[in-house]
A and B are shown apart, each in its own frame.
Chain A
C-alpha cells in the first residue's frame, strides 16, 4: 500500500483544475513548457509552478530532449491512487448495495402496500 504522504502529494497535485488539464494534455503525448502554456492563457512561470507541483508528486517527468525539455506523464502514482480509491469506493458501493437490498426486504416484510420504485 502506498503511504499516506505520497497519496497526499498526489491528491494535492490533482486538486487544481489547471494541473488536471495539464495532465489531460500530457495524456495525449509529451509537450514542452511553452506548448503547455499556450492553451491556458497563463505565463510560462505560472505554468512552471504547476509543473513543479506535478513533478514533486511524481505525476510527470522531464523527457530526453535536452533542448525542449518536454514533460511527460508518469502514470504509476496516478494508477496507484486510482486503484486505492477504487478499492475503497467498491467497499462502500458494496455496503450500500447490500443496504438497498435490506431496505427493500424490510419494506416488503410488513404486509404493506408495495412502494417499490425502479
Chain B
C-alpha cells in the first residue's frame, strides 16, 4: 500500500515533506544521489521524462536536472550546488529554478535551500525534506511554477478542515 506523504508549512518561507520507505537508509540515499537511479523515479507528471540528471555529490559540487514533455518537447529544470554532504544521513543543496522553455517567472538570485534528512529505524527509512525559500513571495512563486516545490501548501491543514471540522 502506498504510504501517505506528510506536508506541512513550518514557517512562511518553508515547506516540509515527510515520507517513509521500506528500505535501508543507504539505498534510499543512493536513490537520491545516483543519477541512474534518480532518473528511474523522479519523473514528475505522466508524459514527462528526465533526460538530464547530473550530480556531483560533494560539498561545492554542482547538479543539474531537466524534465522534458513528451508531447511538445518543452523543458524546465533545477540546478544548483551541494552545500553539505553527510552520506547517508543528510544532504543540503541550494536550488535555482530553470524555466527553460516552460517559463514561469522566478527570482533566481536567491536559491532555495533544500535539506534532506534520512533516518532509519527497524529497516524503515524516513525521509524529511525541508525547503527554505528566500522569502514568502518566492515560495509562493515557486509553487505556482516549479514542479518539485509545488507539493506544499499545508495538506495537513486542509485535511483537518475537510475531515475533522466538517464532522
Chain A residues near B151 (CB, 8 Å)?
88-89, 91-92
Contact indicator B28/A15 (Cβ below 8 Å): no
A47 at the interface (CB under 8 A from B): no
Instruction: Name the one of A2, A4, A99, A115 contacting B123, with C-beta atoms under 8 angstroms.
Output: A115
A-contacting residues, B1-53, CB 8 Å: 2-3, 5, 7, 17, 19, 21-23, 27-28, 30-31, 37, 40-46
Comparing B74-82, B87-95, B110-118, B157-165, the segment that makes contact with chain A is B157-165
Instruction: Name the one of A4, A20, A27, A90 contacting B143, with C-beta atoms under 8 angstroms.
Output: A4
Chain A residues near B147 (CB, 8 Å)?
88, 91
Residues of A within 8 A of B (CB-CB), count: 43
Chain A residues near B123 (CB, 8 Å)?
115, 117
Contact A96 to B2, CB < 8 A, known contacts A23-B161, A91-B44, A107-B23: yes
Contact indicator B40/A98 (Cβ below 8 Å): yes
B-contacting residues, A99-118, CB 8 Å: 99-104, 106-107, 115-117
Contact with B along A61-99 (1 / 0, CB 8 A): 000000000000000000001101101111111111111
Min CB distance B112 to A, Å, is 15
A21 at the interface (CB under 8 A from B): yes
Contact indicator A85/B22 (Cβ below 8 Å): no
B154 at the interface (CB under 8 A from A): yes
Contact with A along B137-157 (1 / 0, CB 8 A): 100110110010011111101
Contact indicator A102/B140 (Cβ below 8 Å): no
CA distance A12 to B64 in the complex (A): 33
Chain B residues near A23 (CB, 8 Å)?
161
Contact indicator B43/A95 (Cβ below 8 Å): yes
B166 at the interface (CB under 8 A from A): yes
CB nearest to B123 among chain A residues: A115
User: 28 interchain pairs (CB within 8 A)?
Assistant: A1-B144, A4-B140, A5-B140, A7-B144, A11-B153, A14-B154, A14-B157, A14-B158, A20-B165, A21-B165, A23-B161, A85-B158, A89-B5, A91-B44, A91-B151, A92-B151, A96-B2, A96-B3, A99-B42, A100-B2, A101-B41, A102-B37, A103-B21, A103-B23, A103-B27, A104-B23, A107-B27, A117-B124
